[in-house]
Amino acid sequence: MEGDERGYAGREATQGRFEKSPSQTLESNSQSEALESNSGPGTGNVPSSASDWFDTTPVGVQATPTSVLPTRLMRLGALPWYECWTGQLRTEKKSVHTIRAYTVAARDFSMTALPDEDEIDWTEAQTIPVRIFHERADPSFGRIDAWLHGLGEMKPATINARIAAVSHLLNWLGHSIPEWVQRPARRRPLPRPLGRTEVLKVRSAALRMEDPLAHPIVTTMLDTGLRVSELCNLDVDDVDHEDLSALVIGGKGEKDRTVLFTKATTEAIEAWNPIRALRQKQVEDEDSERALFLSSRGRRINPRSIQKLIDRLADEADIPRSRLSPHTLRHTFATGLLERGADLVTIQRLLGHASIATTRVYLEISDQTLREIYHRVQRLPELPELEVDSSVEAELESEYIEAPAPTIRQD
């Protein structure tokens, strides 16, 4: 920027946080004088509404509802929009991964240039003051159209995620996503849980592997349905071996919940504890000292390490790597509960879903499972005629005779 064009931040700093520009002040003063002359005593020209007293729209310019910065953002008008917006995301308890994904979409949107504009880089774009970025992001100016045109080659799921991020940004600025913006329809793929044979292969392979983490991790995920991030954040004190439960603190959406497990999970964790005690001697930070699962270097395990472990496990179990992932184990846990008669509300609470609509996807039972259930029922023997023991029949009859007849009150 040369001369008086010193960038968005410099221009806003000169203007001041709450002050108007000189041109705005002259327009406001001239309109105030005209308003006083036209609405003075005896003129009869009284404004029709209170908003007319504060209308500062220049003559010949059509005002739009989205041109006014929301009152809640007035005090932030001179601050960088990106810093303020990400602060709002953190206030809403958005995860680090969600904030990162939202930033990618907001970065591309803020850098999109219209035909009559110069292109800017991300360093400059994220320092634009809130007041100026509010005008820049106004959907009526066509920037969102130009941005959407650049998403055509992406997958429907990616496009939906980008639109969701920019919708959040526009709502925060006081705008709204135009109604004509249509999110591409996508067929949500159903989860493919492991079959019974595959589960046995995975459990057997986990016992054979040299990595001592394989068995406790696989057993814990299959018995609890924990997300991989929740498994990594599990501390020693969170597990109650007597109650056969574990407390998940700060799960997805910063929600806490209790998960249940079996005796096999307790045995797997107890077998892991001696190895954990050896690795704990290498621990250098307080966070890893509390962790239930430690790497060979004495650090709390991370999702990437678990994914690599699962890949090696798939090779050991002779299962394609594409069929086995930490999320596959979670799907297998949920589908197993459904097949054994658990209701959706119970599964929702155990999985930690915020909406039961997310859990409802498990209603789709695989074709193979449907066939197994059908043939198993068809092989059941015919039910014999119901016979009631004479002593039970006499007891029921006596209860019927001894039961007092209901009395009818007559008023």
333 DSSP 8-state letter: H
Clarify whether 330 is annotated catalytic.
Answer: yes
Clarify whether 252 is annotated catalytic.
Answer: yes
Tokens 């009152």 label which residue? 71
235 DSSP 8-state letter: B
Catalytic residue among 252, 276, 279, 300: 252
Q: Measure Cα distances from 391 to 388, 394, 395 in Å.
A: 8, 5, 6
Helices (H) and strands (E) in the chain, counts: 19, 3
Residue 313: burial class (beta carbons within 10 Å; 0-12, 13-18, 19+): buried
- Distance, in Å, from the CA atom of 346 to the CA atom of 359, rounded to the nearest integer, reads 10
Catalytic residue among 94, 136, 330, 331: 330
Chain centroid, CA 276 distance in Å:
32
Q: List CB contacts of 191: < 8 A, sequence separation 6 or more.
A: 327, 328, 331, 334, 335, 361, 362
Strand-pair partners of 239? 246
Catalytic residue among 131, 201, 227, 276: 227
Catalytic residue among 8, 82, 102, 362: 362
What letter represents residue 211's amino acid? Answer: D
DSSP result, 67-134: GSPPGGGGGGTTSBHHHHHHHHHHHTT--HHHHHHHHHHHHHHHH---TTS----HHHHTTSBHHHHH
Clarify whether 227 is annotated catalytic.
Answer: yes
Backbone angles phi, psi at 342, to 5 degrees: -70, 145
Catalytic residue among 203, 290, 299, 327: 327
Q: Among all residues, which ones are annotated catalytic?
A: 227, 252, 327, 330, 353, 362
